[in-house]
Amino acid sequence: MTQLKCYVRTADKTKKAEIGISPEVTVQEIIETCIEKWSLPDDVSYNLVSINRNMVLNTNHHLIDLGLQEGEILELQPILEAGR
């Protein structure tokens, strides 16, 4: 299958990348790759949000199932946890 060109960035917009990804990739795989490539804390949970759709993407879904479009902007957002 052909690659889908998307843009991924961190919530604070300090890290950005244009990526070509296979539609068979899961949202979780994108999150894990961003954590690794950008040396982000791995003790934090993250959501991937479609900025174009204002929608949190389910980590178990494949991109092809979500109907993402070419040029979509995806934002990696940390899940904030309140103190106990």
In a domain, 40, yes or no: yes
Task: Note whether 71 and 7 are within 8 A (CB).
Answer: yes
- Tally of domains in the chain: 1
Residue 83 domain flag: no
Q: How high is the pLDDT of residue 8?
A: 97
What CATH number is attached to the domain comprising 34? 3.10.20.90
Range of the domain at 49: 4-78
51 or 80: which leads in pLDDT: 51
Contacts of 7 (CB under 8 A, 6+ apart): 16, 17, 18, 19, 71, 72, 73, 74
38-49, pLDDT tens digit by residue?
999 989 999 999
- pTM across the whole model: 0.89
Q: Is residue 84, in this structure, part of any structural domain at all?
A: no
pLDDT tens per residue across span 25-35: 999 999 999 99
Q: Each residue of 5-20: pLDDT tens digit?
A: 999 999 999 999 999 9
Of the candidates 12, 19, 33, the residue with the CA atom closest to the CA atom of residue 72: 19
